[in-house]
Amino acid sequence: MRKSGKSSEIAGKKEQLKSFLKEGGFKSTRQRDIITTEFLNNKGHITAEELYRIISRKHKDIGFTTVYRTLKLLTQSGLAAERVFSDNLTRYESFSSEEHHDHLICLNCGAITEFKNEKLENLQEKIADDFSFHPMTHKMEIYGYCMGCNKQTLNLKKADEPQRSQRKT
């Protein structure tokens, strides 16, 4: 893997976190640094549990609780955002005051794809207006089958069960 703009991007975000920590009277720690780096390197929508597992491979001394608390901290600082989809697990996505976006969620493989749509933003305003409602934000989730899984589905047809939603093992 070649180092590109990504490194500096991450460096920038880590600076952002440090500022946040200093302002809030929090302390910079080895754990927070490792967890933040690992989180930022895993673009996507990750659960605290998943991130913990990834980290604990290399750092057996870092506990789940610290990963959990650091993700909360990242959320407060604006570097992460919490998302809950229909499997009821809390996921964190890397977030840097980007524009609002929404999600496509595959019912088969669980893949989560982000999208932005200006018309959707406008529509929110219109709908709210009809109810004299003052909108602050919204959540739009489209559930269905992604390109890859759609093919599978067509072939396997009446195959047993859908593969996901294993909320409780």
Partner DNA sequence: TTGATATTGAAAATGAATTTCATTTTCCTT
Partner DNA sequence: AAGGAAAATGAAATTCATTTTCAATATCAA
The DSSP code sequence of 59-93 is -TT--HHHHHHHHHHHHHHTSEEEEE-TT--EEEE
Q: Does 62 bind DNA (CB under 7 A)?
A: yes
Q: Which does 97 bind (CB under 5 to 8 A by kind): DNA, a copy of itself, none?
A: none
User: Rule CB under 8 A: which residues touch a copy of itself?
Assistant: 84, 86, 88, 104, 106-107, 113, 115, 117, 119-120, 123-124, 127-128, 130-147, 150
Of 88 and 132, CB closest to DNA: 88
- C-alpha 34/C-alpha 168 separation (Å) is 29
Q: Does 58 bind DNA (CB under 7 A)?
A: no
- C-alpha 60/C-alpha 67 separation (Å) is 12
**Which range binds DNA by CB under 7 A, 26-34, 103-111, 124-132, 133-141?**
26-34
Residue type, 120: L
Q: Does 65 bind DNA (CB under 7 A)?
A: yes
Q: Does 20 bind DNA (CB under 7 A)?
A: no
- Per-position x/- string for 97-136, each x denoting binding to DNA as judged by CB under 7 A, each - no binding: ----------------------------------------
State phi, psi for 163 to the nearest 5 degrees: -85, -10
**76: Cβ–Cβ under 8 A, 6 or more apart, which residues?**
20, 24
